[in-house]
Amino acid sequence: MRYLLNIIIVYLSFSSIAFGQADTDSLFAKGNEAYKNKQFFDAIELYSVIIEHHENVSAEVYYNLGNAYYKTGDFSRAILNYERALLLNPSDEDIQFNLAKAKTYLVDKIEVIPDFFVKTWFKKILIFFDSNLWAILALLFFNLSITGILIYNFTKSVAFRKLSFILSILFLFFSVFALSFAFKTRNYIEESNSAIVLEPTVRVKSSPDLESNDMFIIHEGLKVDVIREIGTWSEIRLSDGKQGWMQSENFEKI
């Protein structure tokens, strides 16, 4: 009886996943059709439903949503969704191109302070593959390591035993390396503190208080880093190093 119950639970779980995927595909197709017919606000609504009600949304959904916002002239939300798509698929040239194109409409032209070269290299390696691909590589290298151990145990050739032992250790190292990057890439996406300003004009304050002094003014579409949050206020940092406080309702996190 318990065995039958487990089968039913597994079946219902897979059915729910399949139904959810079918629902997502249907909404995505309808969104694409609306976009094709230049019904951009309808496309935005359909893509938004996918994002609101489904987990593990693909980069393609965010990319298409960004395109729809771009067509309506809402460049700040276009940038927001292009950034989200790029976070999931950092090597996609179409996303990079459209994001750069949308940024040409920004009021603020902030000079970016380059990161230390070691940090830049590490970030490039980290986002070279998505977390799923890093996990697949980890599994592949682990299987190769196990294969090397089996060859070591069953072969009689001394040369093959030495070679298989060395390779099994090497593949095990690669497996651990790839697995660690799978977790780091996932954390990089889930714990992103970057945000996009959505209000036309925002006065950044010296402290989390409306009566405090204005530090500088920023405009919609600008990307900021959120350092910390206190109540309805957030301390933010610009790419040129400037810092200040703004109300959290004025931006949306990537």
Q: Where are the alpha helices (DSSP H) in 54-192?
A: 59-72, 75-88, 93-103, 117-126, 131-154, 158-190
> Does residue 51 contact residue 67 with C-beta atoms inside 8 Å?
no
Sorted by where each begins, the domain ranges of the chain are 2-103, 118-190, 194-253
Residue 118 confidence (pLDDT): 61
Q: Please tell me if the domain spanning 2-103 has the same topology as the one spanning 194-253.
A: no
CA 105 – CA 200 distance, rounded (Å): 12
Q: What is the pTM of this model?
A: 0.68
Residue 109 confidence (pLDDT): 83
Q: Which of 134, 99, 32 is nearest to 254 (CA)?
A: 99
Fold of 2-103: 1.25.40
Count of other CB atoms within 10 angstroms of residue 227: 12
Residue 135 confidence (pLDDT): 86
For domain 194-253, the CATH class is mainly beta
> Does residue 28 contact residue 61 with C-beta atoms inside 8 Å?
yes
CA 254 – CA 116 distance, rounded (Å): 23
Q: Which of 38, 101, 52, 57 is nearest to 75 (CA)?
A: 101
Residue 73 confidence (pLDDT): 96
Residue 15 confidence (pLDDT): 41
| 173: Cα within 13 Å, side-chain hemisphere | 6
Q: Averaged in consecutive runs of 10 residues, what is the pLDDT profile of the chain (254 residues)?
A: 42 42 82 96 96 86 97 97 90 93 91 61 66 85 91 84 91 90 73 89 95 95 95 94 95 93
Please give the distance of CA 81 from its chain centroid, rounded to a whole number.
10
97 phi, psi to nearest 5 deg: -65, -50
